[in-house]
Amino acid sequence: MSKGAILVTGGAGYIGSHTVRMLAEEAGYEVVVIDNLVFGHRDALISEGVTLVEADIADAASVEDVFSRYKIDGVVHFAAFCFVGESVTDPLKYYANNTAAPLTILKAMRAHGCDKFILSSTCATYGDPQDIPMPETHRQEPINPYGHSKLMLERILKDCDEAYGIRSVRLRYFNASGCSPDGVIGEDHEPETHLIPNVLRAVKGEIGPMTVFGSDYPTADGTCIRDYIHVVDLARAHVRALNYLENDGESFSCNLGTGKGASVKEVIDAAEAVTGKRVPLQYGERREGDPPELIADSTLAKDLLGWEAEITDIKTIIESAWAWMNGDKGGKYKD
Ligand code: UFG
C-alpha cells in the first residue's frame, strides 16, 4: 500500500524546515507544508518535491482544501508563536494561534480519518523545575501563557485520542539549537531572542555586545544552565515518532534533550573556541521567568522511540550555527 503524504504545519520555520528536509530527503515521504510565512521562510524549503501551501492554519477552508486535495496520512505540527515575553504581554495572541488554531487541523483529521499527530511541545509546559533532570512525570504548571498554550494543546490531544482515536506523540523540546551542519538551512528569527544566535551575531558585529542575563544564579559560574539539543536530532525524533505511530504505537509525551547542561558562560567560551574571536558582551539583570537550570531526562524517548541525541557537545552545536551564519545565505533567508 502506498503511503499518503505528511502534512507539516509551520514547515518553513526553524525546526519545521529541518524536519521537512529529513522527511523528504532521508525518510522518503511526500511532504505538504502549510505555512503562513509570518515567521517561516520560503527559502527554507530546499528539498525537491515538497509542496508549500501558503495559508494560515486558522483558516479552516484552506486546511479542508489541503485534506481534500492530498491523502494526508499524518500531521507534524510546528506552527506556533514562541516568544515567552510576548506571550505575557499578549496572551490572546498565543491562545489563538497556539491553542485554538490547531483545532482546524484536528477537525479536518477527524473528518478525513487521519489518526497520527506529532506535536512540537516544550519544556515550558513544566514551569519551575523541581527535579533536575526533569522527567515527564514532573508536575506541569507553566509560568507563562506560552507554556499554558502548549499544555492545553497536549490536553486537547489526549481528549482527541480518547474520543476519536487520533493518536499523538507530544515532543517536549528543551533548548532547540544549531543548524544543518552543511550550513544550507538554519535559524533565522526576527526578533532573535535565543542565546546562541545572539552570541554569534555579536561576534560578527551584526549586533552590539550581547547581554548575559544574570550572573548571580545558584549555579557553579552564576549563569543559567540549559540543555541545548541540536535541531537535526530534534528532526530525527519527529521521523521516529511518526514511524512509531505508523507501527500502531499508543499516544504519549516525552522530553527531547541531551541530559547535559551548559551555562551561558560555557556557551560563550565554546563560541570563542569555535570562532577564534572574543564575544563582545556585557552583564545585565536577570531576565524575568528564567529558571536557573533546565535539563531533560530523555529516557522515555530512548525506550519508546529508540531516540537519543547524537550531538551532545555544545561546541559541535555552535559549529553548525556558525556554518549557517557563514554559508551562502549568511544566516538570513531572502524572504
Ligand atoms: N540569554 C542571555 N542572553 C541572551 C539570550 C539568552 O543571557 O541574549 C540566556 C537566557 O537568560 C537563558 C539562556 O541564555 O538563561 C537561554 O536562553 P534562550 O532565550 O536561548 O532560551 P530559553 O531557555 O529562554 O527558551 C527556550 C525556548 C523557549 C522555551 C523555553 C522554555 O527557546 O521556546 O526554552 O524554558 F519556552
Per-residue pLDDT, averaged over 95-102, amounts to: 98
Are 169 and 254 in contact by the 8 Å Cβ rule? The answer is yes
14 is catalytic: no
Q: Is the CB of 77 under 6 A from ligand 1?
A: no
Q: Is the CB of 175 under 6 A from ligand 1?
A: yes
In a domain, 245, yes or no: yes
| Number of structural domains found in the chain | 1
| Residue 194 CA, ligand 1 centroid: distance in Å | 5
Evaluate whether residue 269 is within a structural domain.
Answer: no
Assessment of whether the complete model's pTM goes beyond 0.85: yes
Q: Is the pLDDT of residue 335 over 80?
A: no
Cβ(234) – ligand 1 distance below 6 Å? no
Q: State the pLDDT at residue 289.
A: 86
Give a yes or no: residue 274 inside a domain. Answer: no
Q: For all residues of the chain together, what is the average pLDDT?
A: 97
Looking at the predicted structure, is the pLDDT value of residue 2 above 60?
A: no
| Cβ of 195 below 6 Å from ligand 1 | yes
Q: For residue 248, count CB atoms less than 10 angstroms from its CB and return exposed for 0-12, middle for 13-18, buried for 19 or more.
A: exposed
- Answer yes or no: is 198 within a domain: no
pLDDT tens per residue, range 243-300: 999 999 999 999 999 999 999 999 999 999 999 999 999 999 999 889 999 999 999 9
Sequence-distant (≥ 6) Cβ neighbours of residue 9 within 8 angstroms: 16, 33, 34, 35, 57, 75, 76, 77, 78, 79, 102, 105
What is the domain range of residue 236? 5-175+228-256
Q: Assign residue 98 a region: left if phi > 0, alpha if psi is -120 to 50, beta otherwise?
A: alpha
Q: How confident is the model at residue 1 (pLDDT cuts 50, 70, 90)?
A: very low
For the chain, give the percent of residues with pLDDT over 90: 96
**CATH (domain of 51):** 3.40.50.720
H/E element holding 149? helix 145-164
Our mutation pick for probing the ligand 1 site, out of 264, 317, 318, counting the most ligand atoms within 8 A of Cβ, is 264
Choice among 29, 70, 146, 217 that is catalytic: 146
Q: How many CA atoms does the CB half-sphere of 108 hold within 13 Å?
A: 26
Residue 19 pLDDT > 80: yes
Looking at the domain assignment, is residue 268 inside a domain?
no
Q: What is the pLDDT of residue 216?
A: 98
All three cell numbers of 49: 518535491
Q: How far is the CA of 28 from the centre of ligand 1 (A)?
A: 34
On whether the CB atoms of residues 123 and 291 are closer than 8 A, the answer is no
Q: Does the Cβ of 269 fall within 6 Å of ligand 1?
A: no
What integer is the mean pLDDT of 214-241? 98
pLDDT (average), residues 160-183: 97
What is residue 169's predicted lDDT score, i.e. its pLDDT?
99
What residue has cell string 556557551?
Answer: 267
Q: Is 181 a domain residue?
A: no
Ligand 1, residue 264: give the atom nearest the CA: 14
Please check whether residue 86 lies inside any domain of the structure: yes
As beta bridge partners, residue 229 has 176
pLDDT at 233 over 50: yes
Please give the average per-residue pLDDT across 18-39, as a whole number: 98
User: What is the Cα–Cα distance from 263 to 266, expressed in whole angstroms?
Assistant: 5
Residue 27: inside a domain, yes or no?
yes
| CA distance linking residue 39 with residue 86, whole number of Å | 15
